[in-house]
Chains A and B, each alone.
Chain A
């Protein structure tokens, strides 16, 4: 049987099982449908939390707050207790679930916007606080009177029902389907909602947005410098997660017909987090598994076992057993289960096991064969087109012009009035002793650090105040001195993140996949594969980036930078840690980029054979100050450069290393 046929068969079997289950349950008298339906609601919640925690890597300890907001929105809109104008209409429920999701999403943005700028652990604390505030607020908003010096604009307003909660809540209406106490219609309603969510979630994960979330989780700074806006990307994850929660909360409220603040306490947030972690963070199957396991354990296994223990107690006459209530021990069992899973299977029940870091992945004994030289013919056609289109822009002005750039760290002047110009199509070298400020210069130009003075102009426009991702969108890409890939993502996905800022798919587009989005995604993948072939990684597209050998990681970082379609490429010590052969390959690659694509390159490099060989002009820094600027020949002889950087023995060294040149 082919794998496709087997999967279709498995899908059909699962579908049939889900359809038959409630009737089977009824005929066997198991009475588990309620518990399973509630389990599915928790799965829905956990799926939403998985976007936040699993994909975007944001630890949210107050997620149940959004569950509460969804449920109480439903209550406010659709309950007679609170005097809702919408109550009593047949269509009411179907409108209210969307409104509840919307309200939660909006509150997600309100909470998220100020908090997502702070680092991960602070976010966890802030969400913890939010999760505490909401149930307390609900308890106290059941009876509000405002009295200002005898003037009482609001008298005994009941917003939430206080401690008593809201009861009843409008039920859904569908012709011929009784949404009453019979759990079966609810089961199917929640099943449909759950499957639809899963379908949407799957599509989101495999889209431009899913990749952006994972890139943020892996390395926020690198993602920012690859054109992903971390703030809006995280905010989107937060808002989407909240809307799932709100949706689930509203359905939960209508199903239960009664909501009280106690159902949304801190423990619920923790239980949801347990579901995600137990199942396998980031894995959809895992989250479903974790959610169902925990709910069923809580609702079915514990109660059944308790009654079994009690009947054993009655039969044997042991009083302790007769009075036992295992449900009081639920947190003990959750804790124990979590500890065991984390010890035995840290990636979660269905999580993907991280493969070990590989040093050698090849059986070839000839190291030369591992270094395919870049070839002009393999330059992706679209990159060439971009380059030619770029030629229309007036050539006269320099591409990048930096004047008087100054940066201080406390008392240390890292950059002191530095001037540097990159003309179009030029390769400019930036050299200097360790700690001279070269990487700081890169960090300022790419927007990671704000300068204390000076002006940076790119293609005639000021870059002041732009975030790194906005600067990438303008056409400046970079690599890092210590390689910063997205290690757990595939090689192909790393390059696709580079294309992020050139793609347009929105949430709706990613889920609904109109032809334009399908075409865009297909084009992006084709381009990424062409780029990988060009840098010599064609056969490794599906490997995890962390499993690549060092030299390949360097080349992947360049491919990722090229995917952002830059006009200026900043390379920070690209040949560090490479042997002469690898260095030569990389030098050729830079040469091809410049010659064939008229890409401008600003290069920090300590290998003098490389810098002197390919730079048109070189700027030398020492203690943050420019000490020399000129052609390679001039720099080589410049006394201050020799004194501070090259050393007296340098001439012989260079001569010995490159006898052919």
Chain B
């Protein structure tokens, strides 16, 4: 479904991605784990076209993404919940969610999807008329994910969805990720919480300083020495 082939992305002279090749198949949850600054977010940005690879190709269902404008990429069925919850602070929760569905043409299917988001995050229903910027950090995180879902994507890119969430919500959010996946959405998940991410994912890639250093089934990664030491914090 999604394929990156030998992708090199630069910020000025700084090499952020150094030959990344990965694949996501339809129906999967694939997770990308690694330290801060390893290039995980850059990988998502490269897929979305907000930065351009200097070398290599990105393909999605047969379309080349690395030459396409971001709004075109979103219309192909990819949506994104960015790191740091870049919601629209002066718009209400409802307006934020409605904007998530901006590119859709099936207007009549939007209302049930809104219900689905509210069912996943009851807190958002309580806050529906509040301005996005007045939400707490964790609530903004829910809103960012909800907004991404409103695009009804075939591929959902999640950047650190568990960041800043309470323990009970972290559990919930990973359950939600699995639910969304069972309902047919393919997910590429970037996470610091490697344990939880690997528990819900089918496969995982480990990224270090711009390269993928390990790739395996999620269960196998959970048992690997490198992952346990570096990313699970075990001694």
Contacts and interface: CB of A to CB of B under 8 A. Distances in A.
Q: Do A and B come from one complex?
A: yes
Interface of A: 355-365, 367-368, 370, 409, 431-436, 438-439, 481-482, 549-551, 573, 576-584, 606, 608, 644-647, 649-650, 653, 656-660
A443 to B, nearest CB: 11
B26 interface: no
Contacts of B167: 606, 608, 645-647, 650, 653
B14 A360 contact: yes
B12 interface: yes
Contact of B165 (A409, A549, A606): A606
A360 B38 contact: yes
Contacts of A482: 84-85, 137
B218 to A, nearest CB: 16
12 contacts: A358-B16, A359-B41, A360-B37, A364-B209, A434-B142, A435-B123, A549-B37, A580-B232, A580-B233, A581-B233, A606-B170, A660-B234
B31 interface: no
Contact of A433 (B42, B166, B230): B166
A660 B235 CA distance: 7
Given A360-B14, A580-B231, A660-B235, A573 B171 contact: no
Contacts of B168: 433, 644-647, 650
Contacts of A360: 14-16, 37-39, 42, 209-210
Contacts of B12: 355-356, 358
B67 interface: no
Interface in B28-68: 34-39, 41-42
Contacts of B224: none
A370 B169 CA distance: 30
A603 to B, nearest CB: 14
B22 interface: no
Given A434-B169, A439-B137, A660-B235, A368 B36 contact: no
Contacts of A606: 164-167, 170
Contacts of A578: 36, 192
A433 B169 contact: yes
A361 B37 contact: yes
A427 B15 CA distance: 40
Nearest to A483: B84
A432 B233 CA distance: 24
A358 B36 contact: no
Interface in B214-235: 230-235
Contacts of B169: 433-434
B136 A439 contact: yes
A567 to B, nearest CB: 26
Contacts of B70: none
A577 B11 contact: no
A363 B16 CA distance: 10
What 6 pairs between A and B have smallest CB-CB spacing?
A: A434-B138, A580-B233, A549-B37, A647-B168, A435-B136, A367-B35
Contact of B164 (A481, A580, A659): A481
Contacts of A647: 167-168, 171
A365 B37 contact: no
Contacts of A551: 35-37
Of the candidates B14, B166, B233, B235, the one having the most CB atoms from chain A within 10 angstroms of its own CB is B166
A581 B11 contact: no
Contacts of A363: 209
A492 B41 CA distance: 27
B157 interface: no
B172 to A, nearest CB: 8
Nearest to A482: B84
Nearest to B193: A579
Of the candidates B37, B38, B41, the one having the most CB atoms from chain A within 10 angstroms of its own CB is B37
B139 interface: yes
B65 to A, nearest CB: 19
B234 A434 contact: no
A485 to B, nearest CB: 13
Given A360-B15, A435-B123, A577 B37 contact: no
B230 A367 contact: yes
B233 A583 contact: yes
B11 A657 contact: no
A434 B36 contact: no
B35 A370 contact: yes
Interface in B159-205: 160, 163-171, 192, 194-195
Of the candidates B83, B85, B171, the one having the most CB atoms from chain A within 10 angstroms of its own CB is B171
A606 B136 CA distance: 14
Contacts of A660: 234-235
A658 to B, nearest CB: 8
A584 B197 CA distance: 20
Contacts of A439: 136-137
A292 B16 CA distance: 42
B76 interface: no
A438 B166 CA distance: 12
A439 B209 CA distance: 33
B164 A576 contact: yes
A363 B210 CA distance: 9
A359 B166 contact: no
A527 B163 CA distance: 33
Given A434-B165, A581-B233, A606-B167, A356 B36 contact: no
A577 B193 CA distance: 8
B2 interface: no
Interface in B86-126: 123
Nearest to A361: B14
Given A434-B138, A434-B139, A578-B192, 7 more contacts: A358-B12, A359-B37, A360-B39, A482-B137, A579-B36, A581-B230, A653-B167
B195 A656 contact: yes
A434 B16 contact: no
A369 to B, nearest CB: 10
A365 B35 contact: no
Nearest to B12: A356
B35 A577 contact: no
